[in-house]
Amino acid sequence: MKKKETFSEKRRDIRLLLVDDEADFRNTLAKRMQKRGLNVLQANGGEECLSLLAEDPVDVVVMDVKMPGMSGIDALHHIRAMDIETEVILLTGHAATQDGIEGIKSGAFDYLSKPVRFEHLLGKITQAHNKIIADRQEKETAEYKVRIQQQMIATERLAALGTLAAGVAHEINNPLAIINEAAGYLSQLLKKEALAQIPHKESFDKALLKIENSVKRARNITHQLLGTVRKSNALLVEVDLPELGSEIINLFHKEIKDRKIEVVQNEKRIKPIWTDPDQLRQVLINLVGNAIHAISDQGCITIQTESTAEGATISVSDTGTGIPKERLEKIFEPFFSTKPPGEGTGLGLFVTREIIEKLGGSISVDSDIGHGSRFTVRIPSRHPEMQDTNLVE
Amino acid sequence: MIKVPTNILLVDDEEDFVEMLALRLEEMGENVVKAYGGQQCLDFLDQESIDVVILDIKMPSMDGIQVLKAIKSRHPLVEVILLTGHGTTETAIKGMKLGAYDYLQKPADFEDLTNKLAGASKKKEDQDERIRQAEARELLRRGGNI
C-alpha cells in the first residue's frame, strides 16, 4: 500500500546504531528496524560504539544506559564531545527515570524505559532524525545568509567605488579642459612672428606638445571610466551577432590589412538575441583590437558565434603571443596593460567585463603561450531589463 | 581672402575655461563675448549681435536645455554649439533635436571645435544671405507695383 511505502522510503535515509551488551535483544531489534527500511549498525558496548562513530557517524544512536565497561552516560558524553550531528536515544531500566533525566541533561535527545514498545522507539528515532534535518537546514540558511551579506558588502563597495571613480573622472574633466585650452593657447602664441626667435623655443614647443598629448591620454581614461557608469537607458533590439562581428572587422579593415592578418568567421546562422548593440559593439571593438595587437605580424583572428540554451556566445581568437597563466586573472583588472605607457589605458578588458555583466552575460579566456588566446563572451537571449516582458516573436 | 570674424558668445560657469578658450579664439581672429550663466547669456544675446553661442550644458546652476530653448525661441537664427560632460551626451543629442548645431565633449579638441564653429557660422551666414535676398525681392516687388 502506498502509505507504507512512503514511510519506508523516508526511513531508508536513517542510519541507526544500536548499542547494547545484550546481543539477542540487539539483534532482534536490528532485524525489525531493517525490515522497516533503516540502515542498522550494531555495537556491543560504549567503546565499540565510539570507534564505529569515529569511522563513520550515523544519524541516531539507540543506547542502553546500563552496560559493563563504559556506561551509556559516559559514552553519551564522549559522543557529544565528538561534535557530530548524531542524536542519542537512551534506553533505561524499568522505573530508572533518574538515568533518563541525567541523560537528557547530558545531551541525549530523549530516553525510553525498557521494555520498549517498538513503534514508540521507531517514532522517537524518526523524531530525532527530523531534528537533525531541521538543524542542518538552519545551519545552511545561516551560512547562506552570511555569504549573501558578504556578497552584498562587496557589491556595494564596488558600486561605491564605481560611483566614486565616475565622480572623480567627471570632476577631473573640468580642470583637464582648462589645461587643454591654456596649453593650446600657449602653442598658438608661440607660432606668432614676434616669438619666432625666442631662446629655448624648441623646448617650449616640445613641452607643450607633451602637455597636449597627456591631456588626450587623461581624457581617454576618464571617458572609459565614465563609460562604465551608464544610466540604464539601454536601447534593446534584436541583434544578429555574426553581422555585428563582420561590422567590427570592417572597422579594423586597415590595421588588418597592414599587419597581413587573416580573418576567419564561421558562417553559422544563429538566433538573434535581444540586447544593447552599442554596448556589444564596444565589447567587440575592445576584443578585436586586443587580438590585432597580440599578433605582431601575420596571423589569424577567428570569430565564432554559437547559439546556446540561454542565448548566444561569440568568441574572438587570435594566433598571437598568448597570455601566461599567472596573468590570466589579472588581465581583467583595471589599469592592467601590456601596452607601453601612453598606448591604451589598461581599462579595456575591465570595462568590457563590466559591460558584459550589465548585459547579463559573462566573459572567459583561454590562452596558450606562443599559440594565442581566445576570449568567449556569453550573452543571454534576453537583456536582464526584459525579464518581465512578454515578447511576441 | 579676408577672414570675417565670427561673433561668438561663450557660456560656461568655469571662469578659467572661458578665459582661456576666449583667448585662443580671439587669437584666431574671432570676436568673443564671455558669459558665466544662463541669464547672462540671454542678456548678452539681446544686447550684442551674436552669430554662434558655445554653451556648456552641464552647468549645475541651470538647465542647459531650458537656456537652449530660450535662445532658439528669442534668437532663432543664432547657431548653438553645445559643450557636454560625459554623462550628458544624451542631453546634447536632445539639444540637437531642439535646434543646436552640434556638440562636443570636454575637454574638446580645438580643431574639432574650430571646424564646427566654421560650419555653424557658415550656416548662419547662408541663412542671413537668403533673408537679405528675400527682402530684396520683396522691395523690388513693391517697387514694381507703384
Q: What is the CATH number of the domain that holds A260?
A: 3.30.565.10
By C-alpha distance, the chain B residue nearest A224 is: B86
**Domain shared by A217 and A261, yes or no:** no
Cα angle vertex A227, ends B62, B114, to 5°? 60
Is residue A87 domain-shared with residue A174, that is, in the same domain?
no
Q: Assess whether A157 and A97 both reside in one domain.
A: no
**Rounded CA Rg of chain A:** 36
Contact A181 B87 (CB under 8 A): no
Pairing mode, if any, of strands A311-318 and A372-380? antiparallel
In order of their start, the domains of chain B are: 7-145 (3.40.50.2300)
pLDDT tens track for A289-342 = 889 888 877 899 999 999 988 899 999 999 988 888 888 878 887 767 777 665
In a domain, A124, yes or no: no
Residue A98 sits in the same domain as residue A161: no
pLDDT for B6-15, tens place per residue?
999 999 988 9
What are the pLDDT tens digits along chain A (393 aa)?
444 444 455 566 799 999 999 999 999 999 999 999 899 999 999 999 999 999 988 999 999 998 888 888 999 999 999 888 899 999 998 778 888 888 999 999 999 998 889 999 999 999 999 999 999 888 888 888 887 777 777 666 766 776 677 777 778 888 999 999 999 999 999 999 999 899 999 999 999 999 988 888 888 877 777 665 554 455 678 888 888 888 888 888 888 888 889 999 887 778 888 888 878 888 898 899 889 888 877 899 999 999 988 899 999 999 988 888 888 878 887 767 777 665 666 667 888 888 898 888 999 999 998 899 999 999 998 887 776 554 443
Contacts of A193 in chain B (CB under 8 A): none
CA angle A352, A353, A359 (to 5 degrees): 95
- Interface probe, candidates A168, A180, A282, chain B, greatest B C-beta count within 10 A: A180
Strands A273-275 and A237-239: antiparallel
With an 8 Å Cβ cutoff, are A223 and B21 in contact? no
How many cross-chain Cβ pairs, A to B, lie less than 8 Å apart? 59
What are the φ and ψ backbone dihedral angles of B35, each rounded to 5 degrees?
A: -135, 150
Do B51 and B7 form a contact (C-beta atoms < 8 A)?
A: yes
Interface of A with B (CB under 8 A): 166, 169-170, 173-174, 176-182, 184-185, 188-189, 215, 219, 222-223, 226-227, 229, 231, 233
Nearest CB to B20; choose among A178, A222, A233: A178
One domain, residues A219 and A245: no
Please tell me if residue B36 touches chain A, with a CB cutoff of 8 Å.
Answer: no
Q: The domain spanning residue A14 has which CATH number?
A: 3.40.50.2300
pLDDT of residue A266: 84
CA distances for A146 relative to A134, A236, A272, A290, angstroms: 19, 36, 39, 39
Measured between CB atoms, which of A182, A219, A222 is closest to B20?
Answer: A182
- Out of A116, A138, A159, pick the residue that ends a domain: A116
The verdict on A217 and A269 lying in the same domain is no
Examine the fold and report which residue of A163, A193, A227 is the final residue of a domain before the chain moves on. A227
Q: Check the CA dihedral A238-A239-A242-A244 and report its sign.
A: positive
Q: Do A173 and B106 touch (CB under 8 A)?
A: yes
The CATH number covering residue A170 comes to 1.10.287
**Contacts with A174 from chain B: Cβ below 8 Å:** 14, 17, 85, 106
Q: Which DSSP category does A192 fall into?
A: S
CA distance A148 to A154: 10
pLDDT of amino acid A274: 87
Confirm whether A127 is domain-assigned: no
User: Does residue A10 lie in a domain region?
Assistant: yes
User: CB A170 to CB B107 under 8 A?
Assistant: no
Q: Is position A160 within any domain?
A: yes
Spatial distance between the Cα atoms of B123 and B79, rounded to a whole number of angstroms:
8
**A261 and A374 belong to one structural domain:** yes
Q: Is the same domain home to A184 and A292?
A: no
pLDDT over threshold 90, residue B117: yes
Residue of A nearest to B56 (CA): A174
Q: Do B108 and A227 touch (CB under 8 A)?
A: no
Q: How many domains does chain A have?
A: 3
Q: Which domain holds residue A49?
A: 2-116
Of A227, A250, A281, the residue at which a domain comes to its end is A227
Is A190 a member of any domain? yes
Q: Are residues A208 and A251 in the same domain?
A: no
Residue B18 and residue B14: Cα distance in Å, rounded?
6
Q: Do A222 and B17 touch (CB under 8 A)?
A: no
Q: B54-103, pLDDT tens digit by residue? A: 999 876 666 888 999 999 999 999 999 999 876 677 888 889 999 999 99
| One domain, residues A366 and A323 | yes
A88: which strand partners? A61
Residue A228 C-alpha cell reads as 562604465
**Same domain for A83 and A10?**
yes
Which residues of chain A form beta strands (DSSP E)?
15-19, 39-43, 60-64, 87-92, 110-113, 237-239, 261-265, 273-275, 299-307, 311-318, 362-368, 372-380
Interface-testing mutation among A172, A185, A193, with chain B (most B C-beta atoms within 10 A): A185
Query: Do A256 and A382 sit in the same domain of this protein?
Result: yes
